[in-house]
Chains A and B, each alone.
Chain A
Amino acid sequence: QLQLQESGPGLVKPSETLSLTCTVSGGSISSSGYYWGWIRQSPGKGLEWIASLSYSGSTYHNPSLKSRVTISVDTSKNQFSLKLRSVTATDTAVYYCARRDCGTCSVDSWGQGTLVTVSS
Protein backbone atom coordinates (compact mmCIF):
# COMPACT_ATOMS: atom_id res chain seq x y z
CA GLN A 1 0.00 0.00 0.00
CA LEU A 2 1.33 3.39 -0.99
CA GLN A 3 2.33 5.66 1.88
CA LEU A 4 3.62 9.22 1.85
CA GLN A 5 5.34 10.84 4.82
CA GLU A 6 6.30 14.48 5.16
CA SER A 7 9.34 15.54 7.18
CA GLY A 8 11.01 18.83 7.98
CA PRO A 9 11.16 21.64 10.54
CA GLY A 10 7.93 22.64 12.19
CA LEU A 11 9.10 26.20 12.80
CA VAL A 12 10.67 28.56 10.28
CA LYS A 13 11.66 32.18 10.81
CA PRO A 14 10.25 34.94 8.60
CA SER A 15 12.29 35.61 5.44
CA GLU A 16 13.95 32.19 5.64
CA THR A 17 13.37 29.11 3.48
CA LEU A 18 10.86 26.40 4.31
CA SER A 19 12.17 22.96 3.34
CA LEU A 20 10.13 19.77 3.39
CA THR A 21 10.72 16.24 2.12
CA CYS A 22 8.21 13.58 1.24
CA THR A 23 9.28 9.95 1.50
CA VAL A 24 7.27 7.52 -0.60
CA SER A 25 6.97 3.87 0.37
CA GLY A 26 5.01 1.01 -1.11
CA GLY A 27 5.55 2.26 -4.66
CA SER A 28 8.11 3.84 -6.93
CA ILE A 29 8.23 7.58 -7.46
CA SER A 30 9.45 6.83 -10.98
CA SER A 31 6.30 4.97 -11.96
CA SER A 32 4.70 6.42 -15.05
CA GLY A 33 1.25 7.92 -14.90
CA TYR A 34 1.57 9.91 -11.72
CA TYR A 35 2.37 13.42 -10.56
CA TRP A 36 3.86 14.08 -7.14
CA GLY A 37 3.25 17.35 -5.40
CA TRP A 38 2.55 19.60 -2.46
CA ILE A 39 -0.72 21.05 -1.21
CA ARG A 40 -1.14 23.27 1.83
CA GLN A 41 -3.94 24.27 4.16
CA SER A 42 -3.70 27.40 6.26
CA PRO A 43 -5.27 27.18 9.74
CA GLY A 44 -9.04 27.14 9.40
CA LYS A 45 -8.79 27.72 5.66
CA GLY A 46 -9.09 25.78 2.44
CA LEU A 47 -6.64 23.81 0.35
CA GLU A 48 -4.09 25.37 -1.99
CA TRP A 49 -2.07 23.54 -4.63
CA ILE A 50 1.59 24.57 -4.49
CA ALA A 51 3.55 22.60 -7.08
CA SER A 52 3.86 19.23 -8.79
CA LEU A 53 6.37 17.21 -10.71
CA SER A 54 5.72 14.48 -13.18
CA TYR A 55 7.21 11.02 -13.35
CA SER A 56 9.37 12.33 -16.19
CA GLY A 57 10.73 15.17 -14.06
CA SER A 58 8.75 18.10 -15.45
CA THR A 59 7.72 20.63 -12.82
CA TYR A 60 4.59 22.77 -12.48
CA HIS A 61 3.86 25.58 -10.05
CA ASN A 62 0.93 27.59 -8.74
CA PRO A 63 1.42 30.93 -10.51
CA SER A 64 0.90 32.82 -7.26
CA LEU A 65 3.81 31.03 -5.61
CA LYS A 66 6.02 30.21 -8.57
CA SER A 67 8.69 32.80 -7.88
CA ARG A 68 9.36 31.37 -4.41
CA VAL A 69 8.95 27.63 -4.96
CA THR A 70 11.29 24.84 -5.98
CA ILE A 71 10.14 21.26 -6.22
CA SER A 72 12.65 18.49 -6.84
CA VAL A 73 12.97 14.71 -6.79
CA ASP A 74 15.56 12.20 -5.57
CA THR A 75 14.65 8.93 -7.23
CA SER A 76 17.48 7.07 -5.48
CA LYS A 77 15.78 7.76 -2.15
CA ASN A 78 12.20 7.63 -3.48
CA GLN A 79 11.69 11.16 -2.17
CA PHE A 80 10.63 14.54 -3.44
CA SER A 81 11.11 17.90 -1.80
CA LEU A 82 9.71 21.39 -1.51
CA LYS A 83 11.54 24.64 -0.89
CA LEU A 84 9.57 27.83 -0.28
CA ARG A 85 11.71 30.93 -0.02
CA SER A 86 11.19 34.22 1.80
CA VAL A 87 8.38 32.93 3.99
CA THR A 88 6.02 35.13 5.97
CA ALA A 89 3.35 34.39 8.56
CA THR A 90 0.87 33.80 5.75
CA ASP A 91 2.83 30.70 4.80
CA THR A 92 1.94 29.08 8.11
CA ALA A 93 -0.04 25.99 7.16
CA VAL A 94 -0.31 22.23 7.20
CA TYR A 95 1.68 21.02 4.24
CA TYR A 96 0.62 17.79 2.55
CA CYS A 97 2.56 15.79 0.02
CA ALA A 98 0.37 13.92 -2.40
CA ARG A 99 0.15 11.76 -5.51
CA ARG A 100 -2.03 12.67 -8.46
CA ASP A 101 -3.14 10.02 -10.92
CA CYS A 102 -2.67 11.32 -14.45
CA GLY A 103 -5.50 9.19 -15.75
CA THR A 104 -8.14 10.49 -13.37
CA CYS A 105 -6.43 13.82 -12.67
CA SER A 106 -7.30 13.34 -9.01
CA VAL A 107 -5.19 13.14 -5.87
CA ASP A 108 -5.54 9.54 -4.77
CA SER A 109 -2.94 9.44 -1.99
CA TRP A 110 -2.05 11.97 0.69
CA GLY A 111 0.54 12.21 3.41
CA GLN A 112 -0.70 12.83 6.92
CA GLY A 113 0.37 16.47 6.70
CA THR A 114 2.89 18.48 8.70
CA LEU A 115 2.27 21.82 10.38
CA VAL A 116 4.83 24.48 9.56
CA THR A 117 4.66 27.68 11.57
CA VAL A 118 6.42 30.82 10.42
CA SER A 119 7.39 32.86 13.44
CA SER A 120 10.40 34.54 14.95
Chain B
Amino acid sequence: QSALTQPPSASGSPGQSVTISCTGTSSDVGGYNYVSWYQQHPGKAPKLMIYDVTKRPSGVPDRFSGSKSGNTASLTVSGLQAEDEADYYCTSYAGSNNWVFGGGTKLTVL
Protein backbone atom coordinates (compact mmCIF):
# COMPACT_ATOMS: atom_id res chain seq x y z
CA GLN B 1 0.00 0.00 0.00
CA SER B 2 1.29 3.47 -0.89
CA ALA B 3 0.98 6.62 1.09
CA LEU B 4 -1.70 9.08 0.08
CA THR B 5 -0.42 12.13 -1.80
CA GLN B 6 -0.64 15.54 -0.16
CA PRO B 7 1.05 18.80 -1.20
CA PRO B 8 4.02 19.42 1.08
CA SER B 9 2.95 22.96 1.84
CA ALA B 10 0.03 25.36 1.70
CA SER B 11 -0.41 28.91 2.87
CA GLY B 12 -2.88 31.72 3.26
CA SER B 13 -3.37 35.02 4.99
CA PRO B 14 -5.53 35.45 8.06
CA GLY B 15 -9.20 35.37 7.13
CA GLN B 16 -8.62 33.59 3.83
CA SER B 17 -9.55 30.02 2.93
CA VAL B 18 -7.11 27.25 2.11
CA THR B 19 -7.80 23.79 0.71
CA ILE B 20 -5.49 20.83 1.15
CA SER B 21 -5.86 17.83 -1.12
CA CYS B 22 -5.28 14.15 -0.41
CA THR B 23 -5.09 11.85 -3.42
CA GLY B 24 -5.30 8.11 -3.22
CA THR B 25 -6.76 5.33 -5.33
CA SER B 26 -9.99 3.45 -5.73
CA SER B 27 -8.62 1.00 -3.16
CA ASP B 28 -8.56 3.56 -0.39
CA VAL B 29 -9.91 7.13 -0.66
CA GLY B 30 -12.15 6.37 -3.60
CA GLY B 31 -13.42 3.10 -2.23
CA TYR B 32 -14.52 4.06 1.26
CA ASN B 33 -16.01 7.01 3.08
CA TYR B 34 -13.52 6.62 5.90
CA VAL B 35 -11.22 9.57 5.34
CA SER B 36 -10.00 11.44 8.40
CA TRP B 37 -7.89 14.56 8.84
CA TYR B 38 -5.52 15.32 11.69
CA GLN B 39 -3.87 18.54 12.82
CA GLN B 40 -0.44 18.34 14.42
CA HIS B 41 1.38 21.20 16.10
CA PRO B 42 5.15 20.86 16.65
CA GLY B 43 6.01 18.41 19.39
CA LYS B 44 2.39 17.44 19.93
CA ALA B 45 0.30 14.40 19.13
CA PRO B 46 -2.08 14.67 16.18
CA LYS B 47 -5.63 15.87 16.81
CA LEU B 48 -8.68 14.60 14.94
CA MET B 49 -10.30 17.38 12.91
CA ILE B 50 -12.52 15.57 10.38
CA TYR B 51 -13.79 11.97 10.17
CA ASP B 52 -15.98 10.05 7.75
CA VAL B 53 -14.92 12.53 5.02
CA THR B 54 -17.11 15.41 6.20
CA LYS B 55 -17.90 15.10 9.92
CA ARG B 56 -16.40 17.25 12.67
CA PRO B 57 -15.82 15.98 16.20
CA SER B 58 -17.26 18.00 19.01
CA GLY B 59 -15.12 21.03 19.72
CA VAL B 60 -13.62 21.43 16.25
CA PRO B 61 -14.54 24.83 14.77
CA ASP B 62 -16.88 24.81 11.79
CA ARG B 63 -14.17 26.67 9.89
CA PHE B 64 -12.83 23.18 9.16
CA SER B 65 -14.65 21.17 6.53
CA GLY B 66 -14.01 18.05 4.49
CA SER B 67 -15.10 16.72 1.14
CA LYS B 68 -14.30 14.03 -1.39
CA SER B 69 -14.51 13.61 -5.14
CA GLY B 70 -13.43 10.34 -6.67
CA ASN B 71 -10.01 9.38 -5.35
CA THR B 72 -9.25 12.80 -3.87
CA ALA B 73 -10.32 14.08 -0.48
CA SER B 74 -9.95 17.69 0.60
CA LEU B 75 -9.73 19.67 3.80
CA THR B 76 -10.77 23.31 3.68
CA VAL B 77 -9.90 25.76 6.41
CA SER B 78 -11.95 28.94 6.16
CA GLY B 79 -11.29 32.19 7.97
CA LEU B 80 -7.67 31.26 8.62
CA GLN B 81 -6.36 32.04 12.06
CA ALA B 82 -2.81 32.07 13.37
CA GLU B 83 -3.44 28.97 15.49
CA ASP B 84 -4.33 26.99 12.37
CA GLU B 85 -0.66 26.97 11.41
CA ALA B 86 0.28 23.30 11.77
CA ASP B 87 0.88 20.10 9.85
CA TYR B 88 -2.19 18.34 8.48
CA TYR B 89 -2.43 14.65 7.66
CA CYS B 90 -5.11 12.70 5.89
CA THR B 91 -5.72 9.01 6.38
CA SER B 92 -8.00 6.51 4.73
CA TYR B 93 -9.20 2.99 5.26
CA ALA B 94 -7.61 0.77 2.62
CA GLY B 95 -9.54 -2.46 3.11
CA SER B 96 -8.70 -5.64 5.03
CA ASN B 97 -8.21 -3.63 8.19
CA ASN B 98 -5.35 -1.67 6.63
CA TRP B 99 -4.88 2.06 6.97
CA VAL B 100 -2.79 4.51 4.97
CA PHE B 101 -1.68 8.04 5.78
CA GLY B 102 -0.82 10.98 3.61
CA GLY B 103 2.66 12.47 3.74
CA GLY B 104 1.42 15.61 5.46
CA THR B 105 0.98 19.26 4.50
CA LYS B 106 2.55 22.14 6.36
CA LEU B 107 0.03 24.97 6.55
CA THR B 108 1.53 28.42 7.00
CA VAL B 109 -0.55 31.43 7.99
CA LEU B 110 1.16 34.39 6.38
Q: Spell out A's residues near B (CB within 8 Å).
A: 45-49, 52, 60, 62-64, 96, 104-108, 110-113
Contacts of A45 in B (CB 8 A): 103-104
User: Closest CB of chain A to B12's CB: distance in Å?
Assistant: 22
Q: Spell out B's residues near A (CB within 8 Å).
A: 1, 3, 34, 36, 38, 45-48, 51-52, 55, 57, 89, 91, 93, 96-104
18 pairs of residues in contact across A and B, judged by CB atoms under 8 Å: A46-B3, A46-B89, A46-B101, A46-B103, A46-B104, A47-B38, A47-B89, A49-B101, A52-B99, A62-B1, A96-B45, A105-B34, A106-B91, A107-B36, A107-B48, A108-B57, A111-B45, A112-B45
Say which residue of B47, B48, B100, B104 sits within 8 Å of A49 (CB atoms).
B100
Given A52-B97, A96-B45, A108-B57, A47-B52 contact (CB < 8 Å): no
- 14 other A-B residue contacts (CB within 8 Å) besides A46-B89, A60-B96: A47-B38, A47-B101, A52-B99, A62-B1, A96-B46, A104-B51, A105-B51, A105-B93, A106-B36, A106-B52, A106-B91, A108-B57, A110-B45, A110-B46
Interface contact A47-B36, CB-CB below 8 Å: no
Interface contact A105-B52, CB-CB below 8 Å: yes
10 closest Cβ pairs, A-B complex: A106-B51, A60-B97, A110-B45, A105-B34, A106-B36, A49-B99, A47-B101, A46-B104, A46-B103, A104-B51
In the complex, A119→B36 CA distance in Å?
A: 34
In the complex, A113→B93 CA distance in Å?
A: 22
Given A49-B99, A49-B101, A113-B45, A107-B38 contact (CB < 8 Å): yes
Chain B, residue nearest A62 (CB): B98
